[in-house]
């Protein structure tokens, strides 16, 4: 009964793993300088990158000190571990259960749910860290436009904002939580048999 439906679950988990890997390599927040027609800063799940031309780099001094040196390697390890766990959950035995009291989930359900919750935490933490550091970047808004004095009587707008990849990442975490919690419904087995 669960053969084809088990493959549906596996496919959904694979989609989640692919979305984690994809969004991890995409920009989550950026600051675009309108007058220069260039992006000043890109923030990824794994770190921050300045794209400012060298002659204007003094405008964003200190951006590279926002994240500690261990952050980027740690986040890459997290991403690889999350994807590896999701791939493992696709073929892990549903007979093994993890639970607290009366509440329990099969091992695959627990893995997918925990990875989903952890990715939601990454997305929420990203917004918190970005927001906490925006006052040092000309008091920029998380999403919006502000003016910057470029010197020599030049003023430019800077457009800042979370990108589509950020929202996909946050949605991916929620998607994985739902897939994990609904595994038994998806594969069509009763709780006693998974």
Among 56-60, 79-83, 154-158, the range with the most confident prediction by mean pLDDT is 79-83
pLDDT of residue 1 exceeding 50, the answer is: no
The Cα 85–Cα 171 span in angstroms is: 19
Per-residue pLDDT, 3 = 86
Of 3-17, 19-33, 93-107, 169-183, which range is least confident?
93-107
The CATH class given to the 3-189 domain equals mainly alpha
Q: What φ, ψ does residue 58 adopt, rounded to 5°?
A: -65, -15
pLDDT tens per residue across span 97-142: 887 777 889 999 999 999 999 999 999 999 998 888 888 778 889 9
Name the E strands within 82-188: 97-100, 103-106, 144-151, 154-162
**Beta carbons of 31 and 39 less than 8 angstroms apart:** yes
pLDDT of residue 192 exceeding 60, the answer is: no
Domain boundaries, the chain: 3-189
Per-residue pLDDT, 95 = 86
Rounded to the nearest 10°, the torsion over CA 121, 166, 75, 124 is: -20
Rounded to the nearest 10°, the torsion over CA 18, 20, 114, 88 is: 30
Percent of the chain with pLDDT strictly greater than 70? 90
Rounded to the nearest 10°, the torsion over CA 185, 18, 71, 173 is: -30
Percent of the chain with pLDDT strictly greater than 90? 56
Per-residue pLDDT, 189 = 63
pLDDT of residue 29 exceeding 50, the answer is: yes
pLDDT of residue 171 exceeding 80, the answer is: yes
Per-residue pLDDT, 65 = 65
Supply the mean pLDDT for the chain: 88
Band of residue 194 on the pLDDT scale cut at 50, 70, 90:
very low
**Nearest CA among 111, 112, 107 for reference residue 95:** 107
pLDDT tens per residue across span 39-63: 988 999 998 888 887 877 777 666 6
């Amino acid at each position: 009964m669960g053969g084809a439906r088990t493959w549906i679950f596996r496919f959904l988990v694979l989609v989640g793993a692919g979305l984690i890997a994809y969004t991890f390599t995409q920009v989550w927040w950026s600051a675009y300088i309108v007058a220069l027609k260039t992006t000043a800063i890109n923030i990824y799940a794994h770190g921050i990158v300045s794209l400012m031309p060298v002659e204007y780099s003094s405008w964003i001094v200190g951006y590279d000190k926002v994240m500690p040196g261990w952050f980027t390697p740690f986040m890459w390890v997290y991403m690889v571990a999350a994807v590896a766990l999701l791939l493992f959950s696709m073929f892990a035995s549903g007979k093994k259960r993890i639970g607290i009291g009366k509440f329990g989930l099969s091992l695959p359900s627990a893995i997918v749910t925990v990875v989903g919750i952890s990715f939601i935490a990454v997305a929420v933490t990203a917004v918190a860290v970005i927001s906490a550091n925006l006052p040092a970047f000309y008091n920029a808004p998380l999403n919006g436009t502000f003016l910057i004095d470029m010197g020599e009587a030049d003023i430019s707008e800077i457009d800042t904002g979370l990108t589509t990849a950020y929202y996909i990442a946050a949605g991916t975490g929620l998607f994985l939580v739902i897939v994990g919690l609904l595994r038994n419904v998806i594969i069509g087995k009763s709780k006693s048999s998974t």
